[in-house]
Chains A and B, each alone.
Chain A
Amino acid sequence: MSREMTPLERVVATIKREEPDRVPVVLYFQSAAQFAAVREDYTWQEMLNNPNKLYRNVLLQYEHYGADNFFLPLDFRADGEALGSKVDYSLKVGGGMRMPVVSQFAVQSREDIDKLEVPDVQRAGRNPVILEVIKKLSKKYGNKVPIVGFVNSPPDVATDVIKGHYSTVLPMMANDKEALHKLLSKITEYEIEFGKAMVAAGAHALATVGGGFNHLTIGPAQFEEFVAKYQAQIVKNVGVPYCFHQCQNATPFLDSMVGTGTGAIAFHELVDLQMVKEKYGKKVILAGNVGVSDSNSVMYGGTPEMVDAAAKKAIEIGMPGSGYWLSAGCEVHHALPEENIFALIKAAQKYGRY
């Protein structure tokens, strides 16, 4: 039996297409951070803006849950906030959560895009907190656990920056492309610099979770023009391993996702893992895709036994030949039963031994 690897060794082995001791479990641990916030009686605002609280919470991803990575920031608003939008934590956003929502947009109209300035990434928004936490994680676990820094997909960030949210950005993809490209270029410039700053602080890898621009809203040509093109620039310029996740059914976009040059792709349970393994498994690392998003998905609405069975099936498809990370189909969120997160991680230990 092979020696127990550290999470970092385990993940690096998969990137090198070598067999690790077992399949790694790589998670986008985001709003599930609320479990600890509730237990310790602090709010999202306190957690996301206080480096000590954020650090303690992120540590739990590995120390409490047993994931093979750290993932931060924990919310989707950090980029928009850094670019000048104001957020509000007091609005009720489903289930009493206090995740930040944009309350004031940095850009008020299409005509104002030219005025948007790319900020100093070291000082903008909550970046000082995020960078400090990465430094602390690196100091304690830098040689043992992969630290993954997160930037939101540029068009998703655009919806946090320009007034009107998706109702403004989506039509711009059809009849005001020039202005939208100008905005996306500025956001991408910012994200490349912030990505580099996270790497300099100690992040081993970066990830993007593409959300609202999915098969329900746009077609393959728009995905290539407004999502993949900018993602490719980020991947190319940050110079570290990259994981690109796309929400919902990414099947029509897989060629574009792989074409960005990303080292890994992650995808929702609507995507056929077997098909992806056969078509893309030799080109990129695959991460996925135990159901987590919909109310009838196994991690959300199922039992630990059902999660165990679904994870076993995914591992059987993904692990042969290495290059596979067991993961949920999307972010690990606040509405999941905690025992289902543990069941997913345990499944890799049970069924993922090489």
Chain B
Amino acid sequence: MSNQLAIANLEKAVLGMDEKLAKSAADEVLSNKLDVVEAINNGLIKGMKTVAGMYDREEIYLPQVLASANAFYAAFNVLRPEMLKNTRSAGEKMVICVVEGDIHDIGKNLVKTMIEANGYDCIDMGRDVPVEDFVQKIVDEEPKFVAMSTLMTPTMKSMRRVMEGMAEEDCRKGKFVLIGGGPIDEDFAQEIGADFYGKNESEAVKWIKGR
């Protein structure tokens, strides 16, 4: 199987919510020793970005997104060990979450995937993470990067609470905070004292690499 066909099948599996096809296409990537990062990036992530766009435009809803995400992970879990094996460690750590009150985690997962693909150790706290738990993890892990995401306006306040919590715990210094998600913009990032707002995972990776 060619790289192009395997990549096309990975994208097709995500768009078609087909876990079996996703897993078999991932197996093909490994058995044919194809480029794993390229397969993830141009197959799985490309498909998931299309799904995210359709969701943003309300052409599809959470059931399709979750079914696509299941296909994404059916393949990604096969490819991830190989990806990590071939990735040179950047020696730096990130703690990431979808903030308290929000369960939309597509964007966060894409950022996490690309961050890992670039050699960073990424501690994923998941979604709807209580502010106190997230701040405590930052205190415990001392990461260089802190990343937060939300898709909803009401839960933007959870980001502000995390920033306040970091100040209260005296753990803000020496860390870079990046935020993202549908309602977020640069003004909000500045308002709450975050260091960076990124529109997508590519911008996030590019910015992190420069730090």
Supposing A171-B66, A174-B66, A294-B154 touch, asked if A222 and B17 sit within 8 A by C-beta, the answer is no
| A170 located at the interface, meaning its Cβ lies under 8 Å from any Cβ of chain B in the complex | yes
Chain B 166-203, CB-CB to A under 8 Å as 1, else 0, gives: 00000000000000000000000000000000000000
Checking A175, A217, A294 against B61 with a beta-carbon cut-off of 8 angstroms, the contacting residue is A217
Interface residue tally of chain B, by bracket? 10 to 19
B63 touches A174 (CB 8 A): yes
A-B contacts, 17 listed (Cβ < 8 Å)? A170-B62, A170-B63, A170-B66, A171-B17, A171-B63, A171-B66, A172-B63, A174-B63, A175-B17, A175-B18, A216-B62, A217-B62, A217-B63, A218-B62, A218-B63, A219-B58, A219-B60
Q: How far is the CA of A171 from the CA of B67 in the complex (A)?
A: 5
B61 touches A219 (CB 8 A): yes
A174 touches B67 (CB 8 A): yes
Nearest chain A CB to B70 CB, angstrom units: 6
Contacts of A175 in B (CB 8 A): 17-18, 67
| A197 located at the interface, meaning its Cβ lies under 8 Å from any Cβ of chain B in the complex | no
Chain A to chain B: the 8 pairs with minimum beta-carbon distance, closest first? A173-B63, A171-B67, A174-B67, A174-B63, A219-B61, A175-B17, A174-B64, A171-B66
Chain B 53-71, CB-CB to A under 8 Å as 1, else 0, gives: 0000010111110110010
| A2 located at the interface, meaning its Cβ lies under 8 Å from any Cβ of chain B in the complex | no
Q: Nearest CB to that of B69 among chain A residues?
A: A171
Q: How far is the CA of A172 from the CA of B17 in the complex (A)?
A: 10
A167 touches B62 (CB 8 A): no
Q: How far is the CA of A333 from the CA of B162 in the complex (A)?
A: 27
Supposing A171-B17, A174-B17 touch, asked if A218 and B61 sit within 8 A by C-beta, the answer is yes
Q: Which residues of B contact A (CB under 8 A)?
A: 17-18, 58, 60-64, 66-67, 70, 154
Contacts of B62 in A (CB 8 A): 170, 216-218
Q: Which residues of A contact B (CB under 8 A)?
A: 167, 170-175, 216-219, 222, 294
Supposing A171-B17, A175-B17, A294-B154 touch, asked if A222 and B67 sit within 8 A by C-beta, the answer is no
Q: How far is the CA of A30 from the CA of B17 in the complex (A)?
A: 38
Q: How far is the CA of A171 from the CA of B58 in the complex (A)?
A: 16
Give the most central of A167, A171, A172, A294: most B CB within 10 Å: A171
Q: How far is the CA of A222 from the CA of B67 in the complex (A)?
A: 14
Nearest chain A CB to B137 CB, angstrom units: 19
Contacts of A173 in B (CB 8 A): 63
Q: How far is the CA of A59 from the CA of B18 in the complex (A)?
A: 52
Nearest chain B CB to A248 CB, angstrom units: 12
Contacts of A216 in B (CB 8 A): 62
Contacts of B17 in A (CB 8 A): 171, 174-175
Q: How far is the CA of A171 from the CA of B62 in the complex (A)?
A: 8
Q: Nearest CB to that of A173 among chain B residues?
A: B63
Q: How far is the CA of A87 from the CA of B79 in the complex (A)?
A: 38
Q: Nearest CB to that of B104 among chain A residues?
A: A216
